[in-house]
Amino acid sequence: MRSILVSIQPKWLAKIFAGTKNVEVRLTEPDTVPFKGYIYCSKGKNKLLHIIRDGDDCYGEIHHGAPIFVTLPEDMYSYQYSRQAVVGEFTCKRVTHVTKDTLDGMLERGELEGCRLGMTEKEFRDYMGDKTARLWHLSDVKTYRSPKRLTAFHRPCPEGLYCESCAMHNEHPSPHCGNYALEIRRPPQSWCYAEDQT
């Protein structure tokens, strides 16, 4: 089974772990189903509370210099999850394709019964627009006790058995690639193919 690393914002992650969201809505999907997904908790959005500008009085001191933006996480409930780390995993055994033309019919026939999107129908329609939405049906959702670092994951080796780094590394009793150029150092914008190297 192929595996991917997927970035999910904290507000959606809280709903997945609480069980109120069992479908991840995306505009793309991996080329094979089923697949395993490792969940990377992205930074999430912040709410702007205040801007301290040059010349403002700040607790008895006059601020001089560039503006300071005072922010707070948008959803404090989701703040409990470790930000910017791999915090869990899931299995996706089915993907449903939905377009704006097929959505009404699917709703009438009850084909989306049991799908908990974690968003309103309007939010879903706005997100989908004129594109085809892919509903990843999540199962076997697990939360890690200790989050994993992003560097614990590698992109799959494109050379396979012919990779000198892999062949050299496979002399040792480990199935993992020894090519550290494949190590994931930046989170994916949406998702990417990945392998757990721990």
* pLDDT computed for residue 136 by the predictor: 97
Neighbours of 84 (CB within 10 A): 15
Q: What are phi and psi of 5, to 5 degrees?
A: -115, 125
The verdict on residue 145 lying in a domain is yes
**CATH number of the domain where residue 178 is located:** 2.30.130.30
The verdict on residue 52 lying in a domain is no
What predicted TM-score, i.e. pTM, was given to this entire model?
A: 0.76
Q: What percent of the chain has pLDDT over 70?
A: 79
The verdict on residue 62 lying in a domain is no
Q: And the tokens for 34? A: 């089923």
The verdict on residue 142 lying in a domain is yes
The verdict on residue 133 lying in a domain is yes
Residues 148-177: pLDDT tens digits? 998 889 887 766 555 666 555 555 545 555
The verdict on residue 151 lying in a domain is yes
Q: And the tokens for 91? A: 């299995």
- Number of domains composing the chain: 1
Rounded-to-5 percentages of helix, strand, coil across the chain: 25, 35, 40
